[in-house]
Structure 1
Amino acid sequence: MDSLAIVILNYNGHSFLADFLPTVLANADGHPVYVADSASTDGSVAFVRATCPTVRIIELSRNEGYAGGYNLALTHLRQQYGGARYYVLLNSDIDVTPGWLSPMLTLLDANPAIAACQPKIRSYAQRDLFEHAGAAGGFVDWLGYVFCRGRVFATFEQDKGQYDDDRRVFWATGACLVVRADVFHQTGGFDSAFFAHMEEIDWCWRVQRLGYEVWACGGSTVYHVGGGTLHKSNPHKTFLNYRNSLFMLYKNWPADGWLWGKIGMRLVLDGLSSLLFLKVGQWRDVWAIIRAHGAFYAHLPQLNRQRSLLKKQQTKEVDLYPHSIVWQYFGKGKKRYKEMPDL
């Protein structure tokens, strides 16, 4: 068994592999690198075989998204290659830096309770700014809305060392996620119904309910292009984000008496947010939000079963951020993480 395996899930990411895979190999510190390909049609597999012969290739028969793709890839890795103690789940559009792995491994080795951690995620295009997907570690407010140290909604902070500490967070980003392999397999991995987006936040919530912790490692930095597989302007991304946020909240919210009141408030706020799309003529995004709500209702039987099972397995209550990040940001004008109360 390897101590660590770097696994890049790829779907038609030939250009990103050409740009960033050599840097990953150069900074892998001797650990094996895998490319798990989700039935790409752009010649990705042939390119990797021809140019990076030391990379181990896992060929998946179809595109199952981030959630299902990594579930399949890591199961295959364990069965065919003996697994690893830690998995690094790395997006194909990540530019790693020298020494990026060591601080995270040190953090995980020092505390067996940590199930996952992430480095600081900075923007590849504007390298002094934090990037949307995870920034310096994320949190979830009491209505299920997510935000990060270094990024709240559309406000991106400059990295001036203010988040160079190692600290516990609520969720770590799937763009560059280091997970303890035994915990990943113990929990059944990601919820494949999510397909893509927020599945890592759901997983982080679930592992904390089992008593584990999630951390951000301030001593490690990588750069993220963002939107490599599904651009932020794509309405399908809007659909996945709104639907999966409701999935996550319904499955994991602990207080039965408040659950439907909370869901109702979320549906209203989602509806209000669609007005922002209407304002700029993005009708397809409005329709995506409507479809997301419909998909949530359609999945309720499955979500109820998952909710019941998770309640039986739970060993610890998990605290959410007790304020509305929407109100703090839009209502009170607090745009940065350190301006928020009770953090």
Structure 2
Amino acid sequence: MSLISIITVNYNQPEVTVAFLQSIRRHAGDLPVEVILVDNAPQGSYESQFTDVYPELIYILSEQNTGFAGGNNMGIRHSGGDYLLLLNNDTEITEGFLTALLDEMDANPQIGLLSPLIKYFDEKDRIQYAGFTPMNYYTARNNGIGNYEIDRGQYHKSYETGFCHGAAMLCRRKDLEAAGLMETLYFLYYEELDWCEKFKRIGKKIWFTGKAVIYHKESVSVGKMSPLKIFFMTRNRLLYIRRNASFLQKIAFSVYYTFFVCPLKIVQLLGKRRPGLARQVFRGIQWNFTHSKNSTDLGYKGI
């Protein structure tokens, strides 16, 4: 049976990551698995905590915080599996999860990237992700499928979807080598959407299966309204369009986003007395007008 490389990134969340490793230990079964953990700029020494739970762990220390894409790319470079499964460290898998994912991939060679049904860890009957609709490149908007619905089995099936979810993505190594790694210039947010676009360009499909389930502790890493999140969500939404849309779509979206969406967001944040967050919206837009779409200057201090 083919080796599965499970890759995760820790950023100063040792307790969360320990729980993640414990879930892998409980539910991986007899499948051939290697677990690779990239420790992004840790403030302490966490390796022993992780290896106590998972002695076979491949532990990689990164002196710098390279973000979601950079950390996963580092793990990918150290992996040996024919299948690569990228899992957030704030997730926990369930019984039969890995087998269901592999069965789906084996049944359909056209699948490039595959994500499972994702449910909220704190409300285990609530769905977070059952796929995404296609992107409207004029507004950079699409919709999540099933979000916050009660799980009644309505999505316990498989189908093509607009995009995978960054919390859990499976691919074949041979497809990854053709599509390429994730782009580190995003640092946080939208890198998985950009990655899906890469797989689409090599003729592969983006797929969802509700036959595999995972629980997600959403927004553990950066907080629900942190300056870091506001900056990169603003910056990367426009950057994604700049990298993946047609010329006409880029122009239309840039006008819509710069002169309507972001000013409205700034006014709302100022009304809530959050001037620091409003400043990050402005900075996220400003970055795109002062940097190329391939710039490696992240534009955010303190990371």
TM-score norm. by structure 1 comes to 0.80
Contact 2:5 2:84 in 1 (8 A): yes
1:231 aligns with 2:223: yes
Query: Among 233, 253, 257, which residue is 1:262 paired with?
Result: 253
Q: CA deviation at 1:298?
A: 2.1
1:299 aligns with 2:291: yes
Where does residue 48 of structure 1 map in the other structure? Answer: 50
Query: Among 92, 115, 136, which residue is 1:141 paired with?
Result: 136
Where does residue 35 of structure 1 map in the other structure? Answer: 37
Change (3 A) 1:162 1:279: farther
Contact 1:36 1:60 in 2 (8 A): yes
- SS of 1:32's partner is strand
Contact 1:84 1:181 in 2 (8 A): yes
Contact 1:39 1:63 in 2 (8 A): yes
Take 1:285 and 1:172, find their aligned partners in 2: how far apart are those partners? 28
Take 2:178 and 2:60, find their aligned partners in 1: how far apart are those partners? 22
1:252 aligns with 2:252: no
Structure 1: segments with no counterpart, 5+ residues:
78-82, 304-343
Q: C-alpha offsets along residues 165-220 of structure 1, whole Å, 9 cap, x if unaligned? A: 20111111111111222222333311110011110011102211221111111111
- Identify the range of structure 1 (53-62 vs 270-279) with the bigger mean alpha-carbon deviation: 270-279
1:167 aligns with 2:159: yes
- SS of 2:175's partner is helix
Take 1:232 and 1:138, find their aligned partners in 2: how far apart are those partners? 21
Where does residue 61 of structure 2 map in the other structure? Answer: 59
Identity of aligned residues (%): 26
Take 1:240 and 1:296, find their aligned partners in 2: how far apart are those partners? 11
1:101 aligns with 2:98: yes
- SS of 2:95's partner is coil
Contact 1:170 1:205 in 2 (8 A): no
Aligned-residue RMSD, C-alpha: 1.8
Contact 2:266 2:282 in 1 (8 A): no
Where does residue 86 of structure 1 map in the other structure? Answer: 83
Q: CA deviation at 1:301?
A: 5.7
Contact 2:140 2:253 in 1 (8 A): no
Structure 2: segments with no counterpart, 5+ residues:
296-303
**When the two structures are aligned, how many residues end up with a matched partner?**
290
Where does residue 301 of structure 2 map in the other structure? Answer: none
Take 2:155 and 2:2, find their aligned partners in 1: how far apart are those partners? 31
- SS of 2:127's partner is coil
Q: C-alpha offsets along residues 293-340 of structure 1, whole Å, 9 cap, x if unaligned? A: 01111223637xxxxxxxxxxxxxxxxxxxxxxxxxxxxxxxxxxxxx
1:13 aligns with 2:9: no
Change (3 A) 1:203 1:12: same
Take 2:21 and 2:177, find their aligned partners in 1: how far apart are those partners? 26
Q: CA deviation at 1:223?
A: 0.6
Contact 2:239 2:293 in 1 (8 A): no
Where does residue 312 of structure 1 map in the other structure? Answer: none
Change (3 A) 1:56 1:281: same
